[in-house]
Amino acid sequence: MGLRQERMADQIRDVLAINFQGGMLSDPRLASVTITAVKLTADLQLATVYFRTYDENDGVQAKRGLESATGRLRKQIGQAIDLRRVPELRFMYDKSLENAARIETLLGKIAEEEKAEHESSN
């Protein structure tokens, strides 16, 4: 991502985060949502918004809530940031923590196998 894309993505993330922290959204499906990142396309027309919930089982409901609040969120972005055109919003559950835990588990297994192999060769 270019510098302009990154700056715009950070601004959009901040505006969205304020909406969730300030209790400006009354949808109960969004009560545990945290915005983790925003990625913009090169033409600034599409923003992929990554989010997490306290309970990963709430992810599907939260995504539905976010999709139903898209119009209001885009309006908030348009009012807060001077943009020619407010990007479309696409929501994705952020699985980075689960992926990191899986990688840690795999690395631990590899280390155990290497240790067992080393001990058996001695």
Angle at 25 between CA 19 and CA 30, to 5 degrees: 95
Residue 115 corresponds to which tokens in the numbers above?
A: 């240790």
pLDDT tens digit sequence for 73-120:
999 999 999 888 999 999 999 877 676 777 888 888 887 888 777 777
DSSP string for residues in 37-88: EEEE-TTS-EEEEEEEESSGGGHHHHHHHHHHTHHHHHHHHHHHS--SSPPE
Q: Is the pLDDT of residue 122 over 70?
A: no
Dihedral, 68, 73, 75, 81 alpha carbons, nearest 10: -160
Give the closest residue to 90 by CA, choosing from 24, 25, 39, 29.
Answer: 39
Domains along the sequence of the chain with CATH? 3-94 (3.30.300.20)
Kindly report, residue by residue over 36-80, the tens digit of the pLDDT.
999 999 999 999 999 998 877 788 889 999 999 999 999 999 999
Q: Kindly tell me if the per-residue pLDDT of 1 is higher than 70.
A: no
| Spatial distance between the Cα atoms of 71 and 101, rounded to a whole number of angstroms | 35
Predicted TM-score (pTM) of the model is: 0.77
